[in-house]
Amino acid sequence: MTSSRSAVLRDLAGPFSIETVTVDPPGPGEALVRIVAAGLCHTDQFGRSGFLGDTFLPAILGHEGAGIVEAVGPGVTTVAPGDHVVLSFDSCGSCDACIAGEPTNCVSFELHNITGARPDGSGCVTDASGARVTSRWFGQSSFGEFTLATVRNMVKVGQDVPLTLLGPLGCGIQTGAGVVLNTARLAPGQSIGVFGVGAVGLAAVMAAKLSGASEIVAVDLHPARLELAQELGATRVVDGKDAELVAAVRGDGPGLDVTFDTTGVSSVMSAAVDALRRPGKCILVGAGLDSLTVHPAALAGKTVTYVYEGSAVPQVFIPRLIDLWKRGLFPFDRLITEYPFEAIDQAEADANAGTAIKPVLLLEPPAGA
């Protein structure tokens, strides 16, 4: 058993409670990881939605962890104590999609990632009273000093890159870049519109620039984010409050080759579909409860899809993004604002207000601090 200082959510509308919990030893296919830093992702807000049921809370959220392996369970050979790892989403590894190298299409993706339990329903964390705490959020629950992860959602990384930077690669940054590079496979000369340029959208902007896109249109409500989008590669920006939003996104042409919505807001998703040319592809990733309603005729020559995690294989894609960052081609570090772990409520508030693009919680002080 391992004691861990973790952030426990006990009330859908309340603050996080920093508590000492007990983490079980790693079981077969698992590893105990000491978390160095963890990104705060918009999807963590889904844990506050109430949509996951009355028994979801109390819960430890967090699914962009980066840390160091402390111990491994039976049968684990791909990582060892002392290895640096980034934690990403979990998958079964045995369904047709996983075998085909498409873990984001895992037949039991939701079971492994959003239930807060192992696939068999068991947990691995208890609080000071001995009561169970939901603790397998995206196979990790990384808002704490220690967590259990599986070999399927651990990515071993080199020790020459600071772990304080790498957590967001496990979800938000991977999703945005992956939509462009893996799902859309944007080709040089093509155009893309990105609706919502938080961390996911800005990662897509950077990836679109890498792809040689001829036009990259960024849409958002925050002027500062639109300004940063231009610095990172957007060729045009559009105020999301524009009364003629679709026309403004289309510009002088017939529409865009690809549109990408990160907001999950009904009206914005509809605008993303309408802004397409024919043929065109709209890709949705927003984690919300809104629905998309569209007349069938509006889809003539168009494709709409929803994807998890940028269609990525984390063990392949995350090292690729790290290499691009090292070469100065993918400056995702510009999106990060660091917070001490105890300031998790402030980090969440700043993310909701749009003043922090990608909060990262530091569970141990940086070297020299």
Spatial distance between the Cα atoms of 75 and 29, rounded to a whole number of angstroms: 6
Name the one residue in this structure whose structure tokens are 């809370």.
57
Average the pLDDT over 126-139 and give the result.
96
Average the pLDDT over 6-28 and give the result.
97
User: Are residues 188 and 154 part of one domain?
Assistant: no
- pLDDT computed for residue 364 by the predictor: 77
* Short-list 257, 256, 262, CA closest to 285: 262
- pLDDT tens sequence across 158-199: 999 999 999 999 999 999 999 999 999 999 999 999 999 999
User: Are residues 39 and 17 part of one domain?
Assistant: yes
Q: Is 325 among the domain residues?
A: no
What are residue 226's phi and psi, to 5 degrees?
Answer: -65, -35
- pLDDT computed for residue 287 by the predictor: 86
User: Are residues 195 and 91 part of one domain?
Assistant: no
Structure tokens at 141: 């629950």
Q: What is the pTM (predicted TM-score) of this model?
A: 0.96
Q: Are 119 and 92 in contact (CB under 8 A)?
A: yes
150: part of which helix (H) or strand (E)?
strand 146-150
User: Are residues 186 and 164 part of one domain?
Assistant: no
Range of the domain at 70: 2-170+331-362
- pLDDT computed for residue 250 by the predictor: 97
User: Are residues 290 and 235 part of one domain?
Assistant: yes
Please, which residues bridge with residue 336 across strands?
358
Domain count, the chain: 2
User: Are residues 16 and 142 part of one domain?
Assistant: yes
Structure tokens at 182: 């893996």
- pLDDT tens sequence across 146-161: 999 999 999 999 999 9
Spatial distance between the Cα atoms of 151 and 282, rounded to a whole number of angstroms: 33
User: Are residues 163 and 182 part of one domain?
Assistant: no
Q: Are 175 and 182 in contact (CB under 8 A)?
A: no
- pLDDT computed for residue 367 by the predictor: 52
Please, which residues bridge with residue 27 across strands?
none
What are residue 28's phi and psi, to 5 degrees?
Answer: -55, 130
Rounded percentage of the chain residues whose pLDDT exceeds 90: 96
CATH of the domain at 50: 3.90.180.10
User: Are residues 238 and 213 part of one domain?
Assistant: yes
Name the one residue in this structure whose structure tokens are 């999609």.
97
pLDDT at 201 over 80: yes
Q: Is 312 among the domain residues?
A: no
* pLDDT confidence tier of residue 288, bands split at 50, 70 and 90: confident
* pLDDT confidence tier of residue 222, bands split at 50, 70 and 90: very high
CATH of the domain at 246: 3.40.50.720
Q: Is 132 among the domain residues?
A: yes
Q: Is 322 among the domain residues?
A: no
Q: Where a domain ends, among 260, 291, 307? A: 307
146: part of which helix (H) or strand (E)?
strand 146-150
- pLDDT tens sequence across 87-115: 999 999 999 999 999 999 999 999 999 99
Structure tokens at 109: 């993706």
* Short-list 32, 63, 66, 65, CA closest to 47: 63
User: Are residues 53 and 17 part of one domain?
Assistant: yes
Spatial distance between the Cα atoms of 147 and 34, rounded to a whole number of angstroms: 7
Q: Is 367 among the domain residues?
A: no
User: Are residues 17 and 155 part of one domain?
Assistant: yes
Name the one residue in this structure whose structure tokens are 């070297």.
367
User: Are residues 7 and 153 part of one domain?
Assistant: yes
* Short-list 141, 15, 38, 8, CA closest to 361: 38
Spatial distance between the Cα atoms of 345 and 7, rounded to a whole number of angstroms: 10
Q: Is 323 among the domain residues?
A: no
User: Are residues 131 and 45 part of one domain?
Assistant: yes
* pLDDT confidence tier of residue 369, bands split at 50, 70 and 90: very low
Spatial distance between the Cα atoms of 260 and 184, rounded to a whole number of angstroms: 9
109: part of which helix (H) or strand (E)?
helix 109-113
- pLDDT tens sequence across 37-74: 999 999 999 899 998 998 999 999 999 999 999 999 99
Q: 144: which residues sit within 8 A by CB, 6+ positions away?
A: 4, 5, 6, 7, 21, 23, 35, 60, 62, 363
Q: Is 313 among the domain residues?
A: no
Spatial distance between the Cα atoms of 85 and 67, rounded to a whole number of angstroms: 6
- pLDDT computed for residue 368 by the predictor: 44
Q: Is 156 among the domain residues?
A: yes
What is the pLDDT of the chain when averaged over all its residues? 96
